[in-house]
Chain A
Amino acid sequence: MPTATKTRKPLGDQGPVAEQFETMGQQRDANRLGMWMFLGTELLLFGGLFGAFVTYRVIHAEGFAEAAGHLDLTLGALNTALLLTSGLTMALTEQMSRAARPKATFWLLVATIAIGALFIVIKGHEWYKEYQEQLMPVLGLPFSYPGEQPEQAELFFNFYFVMTGLHALHMLVGLGVLGVIATVAWRWRNPPRIARQVQISGLYWAFVDVIWVIVFSLLYLSRV
């Protein structure tokens, strides 16, 4: 990438400007701000759920704490560690794409996708276990709970499936986006554009981490 070193502009600032903008700086700023705002709306989307959960956690403290004890803390913690690691690989991807290193960019993207996919697999396994233990009050499946307050526990598990489900949905969307970018990065036709795309999708991916940290803390760690 000889041009990149000659002009010394960051890679993402090169290439033609879209017609509604004056400069590439303006365009990048606009894209980034737009993405951050979108993430703000995502926070409030999950926020409704978090607010509802916190409310019930306060008024049904004991039943919820006990129900949380029935989640698999080890697998949950393992999954959290995995997501944090994929956050690292994604942040590294961004650095590599900015430094115009096609190979590293591609393989780091692949690593991110692989770790993300592993997360989904483990999550699926957890759900399957809960299904076997009859802790899945979904679609009229039997719910048999050994503890003191089965109704509140059912409410808890309702939250559990909605929250982790919605989060998993966001992961799948993210995986799809990263998959597309990985193919584009493999061909490496328009490096400035790739650098910009990696940056914007990196924001999304990291944010899915943030959401998971909250989900994990609320569901798995509220057991006392």
Chain B
Amino acid sequence: MSTPSLEQRWPRDHYLSGGFRLRDWLLTTDHKRIGWLYFASITFFFFIGGIAALLIRLELITPGGDLLSPDTYNQMFSMHGIIMVWFFLIPSIPNTLGNFLIPMMIGARDLAFPKLNLLSWHVYTIGALFVVLTVLLGAVDTGWTFYTPYSTLFTETAVLAAATGVFVVGFSSILTGINFMVTLHKMRAPGMSWMRLPLFAWATYATSLIMILATPVLSITLLLIAVERLFGIGIFDPALGGDPILFQHLFWFYSHPAVYIMILPGMGVVSELITCFARNSVFGYKSMVISIMAIALFGFLVWGHHMFVAGQSMYAGVMFSLFSFLVALPSAIKTFNWTATLYRGRILLTAPMLYAFSFIGLFTIGGLTGIILAAMAIDVHVHDTYFVVAHFHYIMVGGMVTAYLGGVHFWWPKMTGRMFSELWSKVAALALFIGFNLTFFPQFILGYLGMPRRYHEYPADFQLLNVMSSLGAGALAIGYLLPLVYLTWSLFRGKPAGANPWGATGLEWQTSSPPPKHNFVQIPRVSEPPYAYRNQDQETTG
């Protein structure tokens, strides 16, 4: 077969044709192009954060502190945490896939506020670059949590600049959240009722809600740190009767809900993947929707589980512990529903589906260990150990990053009009799963045995498990680098995808790949419930 001509490969009028000057990208208001801008930014920050992680793991291969000095080590995990949380994971799925897909999934021409969307990217990118520079040059060593009084009274590093930068990036979150919420409320195509909304759109909605309700509290908290360092206005200063634990309350009022910003979109993506490749409509659509919204709500009531041993009252601890158990419920419902969706499905083991399976397994382990941590008596023992590190990496990396990659593979044909290598994508998915478990499972054991987090050396007894973890990190790195190679390759050499290569339902698959500038030649009318895979099957077979 000869290579198809240019026209065949990329249909003429679509959002990527024409306009490849810098200006056409940096000043675009097309939500699809802005999705790509985010894609470029977060990939860049992901690899910077990844380098910091690799340095940490290299240091921890041996018990002694040989590669990094204690100070450098502190700076590395601070940089890793700040970048990965705020500059990669929070914007990851919502701002790339969400930007690209939300208008298409609901049958709209763009988001409600396209210029705001662009502003949001500029704010994010400039703020994040600023922070990375200050953290590198100013050697911030507080960890991503910026706990007072260390961050305000003691450290001599560039906390002021870093906090200001994260504050600025917060605006991007808020603007994006408002944009998505208004879009989902006001721009749905005729017939696209709430109960016909794809679960990814629901998840994005809940995520946006958390973004706009939680982020402002982070902003003010960071501002208070900045004000204390800049003007000497101490709000948490113990010498004046201020309480550093109050800082933790405010910080976690944002940061626990923020962990749901970092998982709900992943749940949304996985719901789409599972139902498509099981060729089965989602089991319990309504309970899925209710669970998503319940997570967004209850996620706000549990923050004190990060402070069990910080000096908070025992009664508050009991209350937060109880609420934390409750928040696990909706997550469990979702997990059961995904499994039930597979039952009697016609399962296709494509690369996106492999990612989705990895997600379910890893998220389940992460969630169950969360419940273990929410039990106060156990947490006294494992708080601030590697057990906690393993817990949240299972969810944030094993869950969210895996779902992100799964989603990128799933919608890649839509975004680029090209198919990627099937073999290589499966190899990458497998490398990720193996590398991930090798890296983080040993950390559960290490933490349970008592290895504290945030130290650059450890007793020699812990070495074997640490070496395993560091080796796993290497494999994991391969799992992340491979897609960069074959996906880029597919841009130039990939087979043309056609409008709907996976045979998926959903409005985004009804327009051409890549989609035209305003997504649809004509605004679609929706007359079916979502995920009508069964009907489709009957049509083709019967």
Contacts and interface: CB of A to CB of B under 8 A. Distances in A.
Interface of A: 19-22, 26, 29-30, 33-34, 37-38, 40-49, 51-52, 55-56, 59-60, 63, 137-140, 151-152, 154-155, 158-159, 161-162, 166
B239 A151 contact: yes
A161 B233 contact: yes
A20 B220 contact: no
Contacts of A52: 224, 235, 246, 250
Contact of A34 (B113, B220, B235, B239): B113
Given A20-B109, A151-B241, A162 B227 contact: yes
Nearest to A37: B178
B220 A19 contact: no
A30 B237 CA distance: 43
B171 to A, nearest CB: 9
Nearest to A52: B246
B344 interface: no
Interface string B86-125: 0000000000000000000000111111100000000000
Given A51-B250, A158-B234, A30 B187 contact: yes
B219 interface: yes
Interface stretch (B2-10, B130-138, B209-217, B379-387): B209-217
Given A34-B182, A45-B216, A49-B220, A158 B240 contact: yes
A102 to B, nearest CB: 27
B324 to A, nearest CB: 21
Contact of A41 (B111, B174, B231): B174
Contacts of B223: 166
B85 to A, nearest CB: 19
Nearest to A60: B241
Contacts of B253: 48
B interface, over-half SS = helix
A37 B212 contact: yes
Interface of B: 108-114, 174, 178-179, 181-183, 185-187, 212-217, 219-221, 223-224, 227, 231-235, 237, 239-243, 246, 250, 253, 518, 523
A158 B233 contact: yes
B112 A40 contact: no
B109 A19 contact: yes
Contact of A44 (B185, B213, B227, B240): B213
Contact of A159 (B113, B183, B235, B237): B235
Nearest to A44: B216
Contacts of A40: 212-213
Nearest to A154: B240
A58 to B, nearest CB: 11
9 contacts: A20-B108, A34-B178, A45-B219, A47-B217, A51-B250, A55-B246, A151-B239, A155-B237, A162-B227
Nearest to B213: A44
B182 A30 contact: yes
B111 A20 contact: yes
A30 B235 contact: no
A154 B232 CA distance: 11
